[in-house]
Homo-oligomer: A and B are copies of this chain.
Amino acid sequence: MMQTAAQQLKVGFQGEPGAYSESAVRQLFGEGVSIPLHSFHRVFEAVEIGTVDHGVVPIENSHAGSINDTYDLLVKHGVRIVAETIVRISHCLVAPIGTSVNDVRVVFSHVQALDQCEEFLSSLGVENVAVHDTAGAARMISQEVRPGAAAIASREAAEIYGLEVIATGIEDRADNSTKFVAIGTNDPGIFGPPDKTSIVFSTADIPGALFKCLKEFSDQGINLSKIESRPSQARAWQYHFYLDFDAPSHDQRAKGALEALGEHTTFLRVLGSYAGFR
């Protein structure tokens, strides 16, 4: 019996229905394929053992920067980035129907959402409680009777859990966006030929070696579209460099640069070669 890819496809994401990650799944793979999972770790595991075809995880926020957990898991697991997309993060204050903004005494959400709405929350002068995820915060206040409780979550989460949106666009920065990547053990073959590559590396003597690393790409005439350094989670005052360049990894110039790069790095991983988001 023939089945279409859409009928079979399962795509894991971290969170509960209504999470921003679920919007990213929809943008990349369409409706009706998303499978909620408990943690980023579970998403990678599910992809690796094959209980889902692909996973979708956040990799960089436009203002907070790279998401170290995702990079760490990309290094730890035998999966690759197969696609990317960008989701506009527009936070809403959501609460049980009939609640007004003045009734709110305590706001539940993911710690990053609380942080992104700091100015709004300060102006309300309410207590902030950090929970596991935004959609989970919405579900919680829809199930438990807690007078004065509200959540920061997406409009979708409010709809799913029967809550009212009592304030919109409450994030401090109007252009708050998050880049998500699809991960997999094989190319889904629906995103077109790869034209960019993501790598992560670290160097022994950081600042001098970084110059030598960038020079290899410059020498090959390859354009870099992202470079970010972040403290390594393994050791204090050590950095990891995350770099995207505009060439597929099978390109001859890319091969030359990566080979040369290996001489300056203590650690180097190609995280994936895929079609860039446009």
Contact = CB atoms under 8 A, between A and B. Distances in A.
A49 to B, nearest CB: 24
Interface in A109-158: 111, 114-115, 127-131
Contact of A236 (B175, B218, B223, B243): B175
Number of copies: 2
B228 A239 contact: yes
A77 interface: no
A85 to B, nearest CB: 14
Nearest to A115: B111
Q: Is the interface of A mostly helix, strand, loop or mixed?
A: mixed
Q: How large is the interface on A (under 10, 10 to 19, 20 to 34, 35 or more residues)?
A: 35 or more
A265 interface: no
A230 B115 contact: no
Contacts of A130: 111, 114, 128-130
A20 B62 CA distance: 29
Contacts of A185: none
A208 B226 CA distance: 10
Interface of A: 61-65, 111, 114-115, 127-131, 173, 175-177, 206-208, 210-211, 214-215, 217-218, 223-231, 233, 235-237, 239, 243
A214 B211 CA distance: 6
A236 B174 CA distance: 9
B206 A210 contact: no
A128 B223 CA distance: 44
Contacts of A131: 128
A128 to B, nearest CB: 5
Given A65-B230, A206-B227, A210-B227, 19 more contacts: A61-B231, A63-B231, A64-B231, A111-B111, A111-B115, A111-B130, A114-B130, A129-B129, A130-B130, A175-B236, A207-B217, A207-B223, A207-B224, A207-B225, A207-B243, A208-B218, A208-B223, A211-B217, A214-B214
